Structure 1
Amino acid sequence: MSPETTYTHVNLESVEDSAAAHGFGEMGEARFATGDLEAQRTGVSFHRLRPGRRQSFGHRHEQAEEVYVVLSGSGRVKLDEEVRELVAHDALRVAPPVARCFEAGDDGMELLAVGARHEGDGEILPGWWS
Structure 2
Amino acid sequence: VYIHSLQEADMSEQQLEAIKEKNFSSAQVGDFSGLGNYQFYHPLGKGRGWPGKLFLRGPLDLTGMEVSLNKLPAGQSVPFYHRHREHEELYVFLKGSGQFQVDGRTIDVREGSVIRVAPDGVRTWRNTGDADLVYIVIQANANSIGAQGIEDGVTLPEKVQWPA
**TM above 0.5, one fold?**
yes
Cα distance change, pair 82–108 in 1 and its aligned pair in 2 (3 A): same
- Tell me whether 1:23 sits opposite 2:48 in the alignment: yes
Cα distance change, pair 57–30 in 1 and its aligned pair in 2 (3 A): farther
Match of 1:4 among 8, 21, 28: 21
In structure 2, the gaps of 5 or more residues are: 1-19, 143-164
Q: Tell me how large the CA RMSD over aligned residues is.
A: 2.6
Cα distance change, pair 75–19 in 1 and its aligned pair in 2 (3 A): farther
- Asked if 1 retains the 8 angstrom alpha-carbon contact of 2:70 and 2:135, the reply is yes
Alignment-derived partner of residue 109 in structure 1: 133
Alignment-derived partner of residue 72 in structure 2: 49
Question: How many aligned residue pairs are there?
Answer: 114
In structure 1, the gaps of 5 or more residues are: 119-130
Q: Is the radius of gyration larger for structure 1 or structure 2? A: 2
TM-score, normalisation: structure 2:
0.61
- Asked if 1 retains the 8 angstrom alpha-carbon contact of 2:97 and 2:133, the reply is yes
TM-score, normalisation: structure 1:
0.75
Quick one: percent identity of the two aligned structures? Answer: 24
- 1:80-111 CA-to-partner distances (Å, cap 9, x unmatched) read 21111101011111111001112012222011
- Tell me whether 1:84 sits opposite 2:107 in the alignment: yes
Greater relative contact order (Cα < 8 A, sep 6+): 1
Matching residue's letter, 1:109: L
More strand, by proportion: 1
Aligned counterparts of 1:117 and 1:12: Cα–Cα separation in 2: 25
- Tell me whether 1:94 sits opposite 2:117 in the alignment: yes
Match of 1:68 among 70, 91, 99: 91
